Every structure is written in structure tokens, then in C-alpha cells.
């Protein structure tokens, strides 16, 4: 488990059950607080607020914090299955059925893939993000349209994707990778707050080349790598590439 000592604590909300907060603090091996302010030594806090688990930093203690948003992003369809349009769907392939997201993170791409009707499994190695994702997928299953269609949230797999992919009993048709690349050194291209917080807590993905190799070995057909437009292709020259706004999806077909 990553070391969060001095960086993270669980902040209990009196409107929620104490044993739930205590269990989360024990699982992450971090302190449990009943109050916090700018003098509290930790920089980040997990706390239940407004019906969901949120990640807060000292600047966000009174601003609501960050949570995994289960609602479609601007421009994405709310219907299910949503049309397989756009660069991401083109890269995955309209006829593809099974997808593994090896770097789930804040799950915005995962949830879009889920809404497009793909059979999806999600891998995440950060216990912090796993807690946030587990809460989000529970909320997802409570949505009216999900219950009406008798859908289940994507399967969430805890662990390092390099190891998890090697142990899959059935090869997915597509493995999706969205690693954290070093930020571009231009003020006009600063990452969103959610990515800044994640990078501060977890750092960059220094093993993304090894992950790519593991994905190529584990997939049945293809690996899709999401990259910022300024980054070099992770696996060398791709077989195909589909461009979105400020990013691209490189497709590597298994030989």
C-alpha cells in the first residue's frame, strides 16, 4: 500500500455513521479526525458529504471537495447505450464488446465507456481512488435509469494493473490506458484541480511503459492509449490514431 503518512486523514462527518469513517481510516492506515483546519498537519482528507465520499485539501475544506462524478460530461448522451460517437469510441471500436480500463483514476472515461454499452472492468491501484470509486459505483447503481434497465456498475478490481492484467483468465478485446504524463509547461495548459490533487498524492506514472507492454500481452485485439497531444506515442508508431480536443487516442493492434 502507498505511504500516505502525513498527507492524508479521514475527516468524520457527524451526519454519517462513525464506524464507516473509522473503517475507512483503518483500511488506509491514516488518522481519523472530527475537525480539521489549516493547522491540521495532513494536506488531504476523505470525508462523506452531500451523500458521497469526497477528497478535500486544505483549500477545499469549506468548498465541497472532489468526488467521482457519475453524471455525463458536457456533450455526452444520457441515454443507454449512448451512441458510439467521437474519438474514444472510434479508437475502442464499435464492434468491440469487452474493455478493461487499466488506469481508472477519476473514472470519467470509464463511465463514458460504460454508458456506451461496453462490457467494462476497471483496475485501480490507489486505495484512495478505490474508496472514491467504490462510493461512486454504489451511487451509480442507485440511479433510476440504471435500476430500470437492470444494469450493474462496472467491475472494480483493486491492484497494480501490471500484475492484474497478467492474471486475467479471459483476454479482453480492448485494454484502455490513460497514464499520467508530466504536465506541459505552459500556464494555458494547466491540469484540472482533480488531476493536480491526484498527482500530488500519487505522483506520475513512472511505469507506464511496463504497463503498456503488459497490456499488449494481455489483450485479445488492441490497446488504446490516451495521450495529451504534445506527448510522444507511448508504444512507438501506432496502427491508428484518433484526435480529440488537446488529446489523442493511439491504437495498437495485437499481432
Question: Residue 52 forms beta bridges with which residues?
Answer: 49
Residues 134 and 244 in one domain: yes
What's the confidence (pLDDT) of residue 60? Answer: 67
Residue 107's domain spans which residues? 86-253
SS (H, E, C) the chain: CCCCCCCEEEECCCCCCHHHHHHHHHHHCCCEECCCCCCCCCCEEEEEECCEEEEEEHHHCCCCCECCCCCCCCCCCCCCCCCCCHHHHHHHCCCCCEEEECCCCCCHHHHHHHHCCCEEEEEECCHHHHHHHHHHHHHHHCCHHHHHCCCCCCEEEECCHHHHHHCCCCCCCEEEECCCCCCCCCHHHCCCHHHHHHHHHHCCCCCHHHHHHHHHHHCCCEEEEEEECCCCCCCCCCCEEEEECCEEEEEEECC
Q: Could you tell me the pTM of the whole model?
A: 0.89
250 in Cβ contact with 174 (< 8 Å): no
Overall size of the chain counted in residues: 255
Q: Is residue 66 part of a domain?
A: no
Q: Is residue 78 part of a domain?
A: no
Q: Is residue 174 part of a domain?
A: yes
Give one word for 107, left, alpha or beta, with left for phi > 0 and alpha for psi -120 to 50. left
**What does the pLDDT look like over 76-88, one tens digit per residue?**
767 789 899 899 9
What's the confidence (pLDDT) of residue 198? Answer: 67
What's the confidence (pLDDT) of residue 189? Answer: 47
Q: Can you give the CATH number for the domain in which 153 is found?
A: 3.40.50.150
Residues 164 and 56 in one domain: no
Q: Is residue 3 part of a domain?
A: no
Residues 248 and 195 in one domain: yes
Residues 196 and 90 in one domain: yes
Residues 126 and 53 in one domain: no
Q: Which stretches in the chain have pLDDT values below 50?
A: 1, 187-190
Q: Is residue 54 part of a domain?
A: yes
Q: Which cell goes with 40?
A: 491540521
What's the confidence (pLDDT) of residue 32? Answer: 97
Residues 139 and 207 in one domain: yes
Residues 54 and 106 in one domain: no
Q: Is residue 68 part of a domain?
A: no
Q: How many domains does the chain have?
A: 2
Residues 123 and 33 in one domain: no
First to last CA, the chain: 35
Burial label for 106, CB within 10 Å (0-12, 13-18, 19+), is buried
Residues 47 and 104 in one domain: no
What's the confidence (pLDDT) of residue 196? Answer: 67
Question: Residue 205 forms beta bridges with which residues?
Answer: none
Amino acid at each position: 500500500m502507498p505511504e500516505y503518512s502525513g498527507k492524508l486523514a479521514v475527516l468524520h462527518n457527524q451526519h454519517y455513521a462513525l464506524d464507516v469513517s473509522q473503517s475507512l481510516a483503518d483500511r488506509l492506515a491514516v488518522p481519523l479526525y472530527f475537525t480539521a483546519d489549516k493547522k491540521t498537519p495532513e494536506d488531504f482528507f476523505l470525508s462523506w458529504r452531500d451523500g458521497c465520499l469526497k477528497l478535500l485539501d486544505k483549500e477545499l475544506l469549506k468548498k465541497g471537495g472532489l468526488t467521482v462524478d457519475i453524471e455525463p460530461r458536457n456533450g455526452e448522451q444520457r441515454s443507454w447505450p449512448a451512441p458510439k460517437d467521437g474519438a474514444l469510441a472510434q479508437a475502442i471500436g464499435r464492434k468491440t464488446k469487452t474493455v478493461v480500463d487499466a488506469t481508472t483514476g477519476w473514472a470519467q472515461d470509464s463511465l463514458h465507456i460504460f454508458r456506451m454499452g461496453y462490457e467494462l472492468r476497471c483496475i485501480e491501484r490507489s486505495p484512495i481512488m478505490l474508496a472514491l470509486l467504490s462510493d461512486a459505483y454504489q451511487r451509480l447503481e442507485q440511479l433510476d435509469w440504471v435500476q430500470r434497465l437492470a444494469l450493474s456498475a462496472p467491475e472494480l478490481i483493486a491492484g497494480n494493473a501490471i500484475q492484474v492484467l497478467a492474471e486475467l483468465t479471459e483476454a479482453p478485446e480492448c485494454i484502455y490506458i490513460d497514464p499520467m504524463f508530466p504536465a506541459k509547461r505552459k500556464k494555458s495548459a494547466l491540469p484540472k484541480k482533480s488531476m493536480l490533487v491526484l498527482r500530488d498524492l500519487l505522483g506520475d506514472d513512472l511505469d507506464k511503459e511496463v504497463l503498456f507492454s503488459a497490456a499488449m500481452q494481455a489483450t485479445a485485439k488492441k490497446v488504446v492509449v490516451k495521450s495529451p497531444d504534445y506527448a510522444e506515442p507511448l508504444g512507438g508508431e501506432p496502427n491508428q490514431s484518433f484526435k480529440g480536443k488537446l488529446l489523442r487516442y493511439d491504437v495498437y493492434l495485437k499481432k
